[in-house]
Amino acid sequence: MGKVGMTLLRPDWQSPLSPHFGMAGWLLIYDAKADQKNFQRNRLLMGKGVVDIFVQHRCTDAIFSNIGPGALEILRAAGIRAWYGPADVPASRLIDRLRQGELEPANEARSQDHDCTSGHSGRGKPSGCCRQGRDRGKARPREISLRRSGLGSGAAFVKNERE
């Protein structure tokens, strides 16, 4: 095992997994060989952005509780092994479970098992979701101006900036 990427609720080794892959508040890059933890705030708020960060850090594995089909496809294309972890287990224990072969491989997408009413699927549409009302659910001024101008969503703008 090399580096493991995880989607967390808090920047804490004892934090549970986030129920949202792309909109997880925090990402953990754990280097198993050096036993180093690197917590990063997820500022892109989309599945592709999370995968890009995992690729930049050369993660070999990713652990999460839920993932949409698009993000899972991108993760696989990047050559990162995907694993489902129980949402209520701390990050530290999930690493142990990965070492022991106790995590379920993510062979297909799995949606949230909590009551999101928006029907979102990792496409950056948090309204009506359990994340609404936090800083994650509010549009940025740049996104609003792009929507009004007909150029698309903020996620598309970020994607174009990075190409």
Q: What pLDDT, on the 0 to 100 scale, is given for residue 112?
A: 66
Residue 117 in any domain: the answer is no
Q: Please write the tens of the pLDDT for every residue from 18-45.
A: 999 999 999 999 999 999 999 999 998 9
- Domain membership of residue 113 (yes or no) is no
Residues in the chain with pLDDT values less than 50: 114-163
CA proximity to 19, closest of 108, 95, 69, 85 = 85
Structural domain harbouring 84: 3-105
Whether 65 is in a domain gets the answer: yes
Q: Is residue 64 part of a domain?
A: yes
39 domain residue, yes or no: yes
Rounded to two decimals, what is the model's pTM? 0.71
pLDDT computed for residue 125 by the predictor: 43
Give the span between the Cα atoms of 98 and 84, in whole angstroms.
10
Task: Identify the pLDDT of residue 123.
Answer: 46
Question: How many domains, the chain?
Answer: 1
Give me the pLDDT at residue 54, please. Answer: 97
CATH of the domain at 84: 3.30.420.130
